[in-house]
Amino acid sequence: MTTAFVRSILDLPLDAKTKGIPLVDRTVSIAEVGRQGWNVLRGDMILPLLVVREERMNTNLRIMRDFAEHHGVSLAPHGKSTVCPQLYLDQMDIGGCWGLTAATVQQAAVVAATGIPNIVIANEVVSRANIEQLAALKRAFPATAIYSLVDSPETVEQLAVFGGNKLGGLRFQVLIEVGYAGGRTGARTMAQVERVLAAVQARAGVLELAGIECYEGTINLPDPGETIVAVDKFLDFALAALERAREAGALAGRDEVLLTAGGSAYFDRVVTKFKPALARGKTRIALRGGSYLTYDHGFYKKKLRDLDARGGLEGKQGHITASLAFLPALELFAMVESQQDPGVAILTMGIRDLPYDLGYPIPLRQYRDGKLLHDLEKEGPDVRITNSNDQHCYLAFPPGMDLRIGDVFACGISHPCTAFDKWDVLYRVDEAFNVTGALKTFF
């Protein structure tokens, strides 16, 4: 079902004030972009340009859907990766998701307005304004399940004090978050978990415990094997916290208990560790990794290879080699605008356009006049981006390389989460790089 909010997005007018749009004297609505006949390689769009290769993205959605169905777990991918309602609907319709995850109350409002039935705010909600907004969101969408996290009695008390008289007879559904030493949020010890449990039970008129949450994606040790040992130990702690909550009677009477974890790198371990909890009945395991939608050519490419090294995945059709099955679906296009110093070309994109927290973009292909000149992934030459300013990138290339002003480079990215947030509007393309649609983000 398309909500009024989604329909309003499709009606938004775009013109030359929108990155990528080649129009000055007229506007085009988001819904009309795919009917303009534009093609990236033909030079119809204004570069730089961030595109989603739609066929690849849909492949990723279907692989993860089939994996989850095979193991009897649910998907609630992190919507902070894109904050794009149109992609949220793809994740629900094509990807078979149970719900979506947000990081803030503002993001949860975007998800709720999109019409998503289950929302996990994978964060503690604190302070009067945030909590009152969360209460208002629950009143505005009473049929939507909205879960938030608590990791201390103080967080519980803030929810009760600032939100108690704003709920209109409803209650906050909360998940106890467990964490690990040196991590971010989350109760570190069972004694801390027990204190949070007691605080939630003491505020049962305002809060309802719905389950346990954790996030293992920030565990990254120098040795991959040691990393997996640490991930498994942490997931065991989450299971122990769930059992302690059951023993305390804090989950009594619930039709369903939620147990949720899983970034986009170790979701295989989450399934292996958490799956036995399904035998208890009335337990829903929700994986929250958000980057699988598009993955990338950098950080996650390595993580998928690590996943394969520890055995890969099992799905409906048997063994899955993750690094081959999942396809990087985000690409940035920019052109050479200057070539003043030997071995260095300046590209028309910079940190306003690209992710750089986990490495600069990776040049994939070189085009001239719309024709492929070099498939850099397969044949070289060896070119790389070495630096970036606000609107410029430095492309290092070897002596003798055929490179001219106006050549276009398609680049892969590293880290989808910090690519989408640079673009108010980005573009869907087919495998011939015809523009099939526009996507609006809400960062």
Q: Tokens 């949220």: give the residue.
A: 88
Contacts of 188 (CB under 8 A, 6+ apart): 178, 179, 180, 181
Q: What is the pLDDT of residue 281?
A: 81
In the structure, what pLDDT confidence band is assigned to residue 17 with cuts at 50, 70 and 90? very high
The single-letter code of the amino acid at 135 is A
For 55-303, CATH number out of 3.40.1650.10, 3.20.20.10, 1.10.760.10, 3.30.2020.10 equals 3.20.20.10
* φ, ψ dihedrals at 90, nearest 5°: -60, -40
Q: In the chain, pLDDT over 70 holds for what percent of residues?
A: 100
Token pair recorded at residue 289: 């990794």
Q: Are 411 and 361 in contact (CB under 8 A)?
A: yes
How many Å apart are CA 422 and CA 204, to the nearest integer?
Answer: 42
Task: Report which of 363, 417, 426 is spatially closest to residue 394, judged by C-alpha positions.
Answer: 363
Superfamily of domain covering 4-53+327-440:
D-serine dehydratase-like domain (2.40.37.20)
* E-strand stretches of 153-256: 172-177, 207-213
Residues 28-51 have pLDDT tens digits of: 999 999 999 999 999 999 999 999
Long-range contacts of 304-310 (CB under 8 A, 24+ apart): 306/224, 306/265, 307/265, 307/266, 307/268, 309/224, 310/224, 310/228, 310/268
Token pair recorded at residue 68: 């989850």
Residues 178-223 have pLDDT tens digits of: 999 999 999 999 999 999 999 999 999 999 999 999 999 999 899 9
How many Å apart are CA 63 and CA 322, to the nearest integer?
Answer: 9
**Residue 1 confidence (pLDDT) above 70:** no
How many Å apart are CA 396 and CA 343, to the nearest integer?
Answer: 6
| Residue-range domain boundaries for the chain | 4-53+327-440, 55-303
The whole-model pTM stands at 0.96
